[in-house]
Amino acid sequence: MVESGVGMIGGGVATEVPKRAAAGWDDVPVPGAHRIAVLAMDGVVGLDLGTPAQVFGSARNADRRRLYAVDVCTVGRRPVRSSAGFQMLPDHGLELVEQAETVIVPGVKTGSPLDDGTLNPEAGQALRRAHERGARIMSICTGAFVLAAAGLLDGRAATTHWAYAERFRQLHPRVRLDPDVLFVDDGDILTSAGVAAGIDLCLHVIRADHGSEVANRAARHCVVPPWREGGQAQYIERPLPVRGDSGTARTREWVQRRLHEPITLAQMAAHAGMSVRTFTRRFREETGLSPAQWLLQQRTDHARLLLETTDLGIDQVAHRSGFGTAAALRQQLRQRLGVAPSAYRRAFRHVAANGAGPRTDQSSV
């Protein structure tokens, strides 16, 4: 099922084309939809180019209308060649960047940003102006090279694909690069690692804009995991765990059904049929997190969802998410999000009151 935006014309990718709605989904954005400009450079990575339209295009309100309007542009509205061997024919030039509320730069496989850390002057100026007027700036994978070449990342935290980390450090030593994470949210500038991490970043932004339920529904529509925290490790080259029935996936599913119960590391290891030491090693190999870190993340995410989508009291939310007490929940949310549970709930209820917030019914796709 094609939801939006990318059609093939003469071997290139054309602009967004209206499609017949399927499964009750309306392809017309809501009035005042958040405008996103995807700035494609020569050598653009094909998957990165399509990710924003697919993921943000799957973010819908209660009436299943699109909450974002996503369009692609290039310098001078000129065709650019992708790393996948096709040309992209845009409908927009850099004027789209001047109008957008969010600007996303997909990854590139070739070109001056990777070669010598320089950037087309028009593109650099457009990005700087967008940032100066308050637009949110994002990059996927090696798109961070473009943002750095525009001077937007100096002195700031950022990430990119781990395989390009050393090259990035050589070209941009003033950037605080963290190549071990999936994405970095540094407020008005957000960067992500390679390929699927761009999906994670887009879902993170949807979650921040409209709440967990809208983001989760978009993830289900894209058939991807609804949440991987930005601090989760990239899948960097390392010895692969032994395959077979000894993985931790079944145990993770088992735990997720029992978040309200006290669960120990020994119980998790016993369920997986491993020693605690082997289970801990295998778990970290498969998830990039320790069992304790992962369990805390799952409980926090579940508590956030309950705060956003139910009227349960704070004590009940704490119990159902496995924190036990409201005090423990408050401590965790303050540590991870900087807010108390009640303030977090009010923030998302305020979003809902303005027509874009989550609903309590999560059964629809």
For CATH 3.40.50.880, the residue range(s) in the chain are 8-222
What is the distance between the alpha carbons of residues 351 and 101, in angstroms, rounded to a whole number?
18
Which alpha helices (DSSP H) does 60-195 contain, by range? Answer: 95-99, 112-115, 121-132, 143-149, 165-171
Q: How far apart are alpha carbons 126 and 124 in whole angstroms?
A: 5
Fold topology of 240-357: Arc Repressor Mutant, subunit A (1.10.10)
Residue 232's pLDDT band (boundaries 50, 70, 90)? Answer: low
Q: According to CATH, where is 1.10.10.60 located in the chain?
A: 240-357
- Long-range contact set of residues 46-49: C-beta below 8 Å, sequence gap at least 24: 46/82, 46/83, 46/84, 46/86, 47/195, 47/198, 48/106, 48/107, 48/140, 48/141, 48/143, 48/195, 48/198, 49/13, 49/82, 49/88, 49/106
Q: Which has the higher per-residue pLDDT, 225 or 282?
A: 282
C-beta atoms surrounding 313 within 10 Å:
11
Based on C-alpha coordinates, what's the Rg of the chain?
Answer: 21
As a whole number of angstroms, the distance between CA 216 and CA 223 comes to 10
Which tokens sit at 342?
Answer: 């009640």
A 10 A CB-CB count for 23 gives 10
With beta carbons less than 8 A apart as the criterion, state whether 104 and 138 touch: yes
The reported pLDDT for the residue numbered 234 is: 57
Stretch 338-345: mean pLDDT: 84
Q: Which CATH architecture has domain 8-222?
A: 3-Layer(aba) Sandwich (3.40)
pLDDT-derived band at 360 (thresholds 50, 70, 90) equals very low
- Residue 32, helix vs strand vs coil: strand
Name residue, tokens 């609804």. Answer: 226
Beta strand pairing call for 26-39 and 12-13: unpaired
Instruction: Please write the tens of the pLDDT for every residue from 261-275.
Output: 999 999 999 999 999
pLDDT of residue 230: 56
Q: How, if at all, do strands 189-192 and 176-177 pair?
A: unpaired
Which tens digits make up the pLDDT trace of 343-356? Answer: 888 876 655 444 44
**What does the DSSP 8-state code read for residue 261?**
S
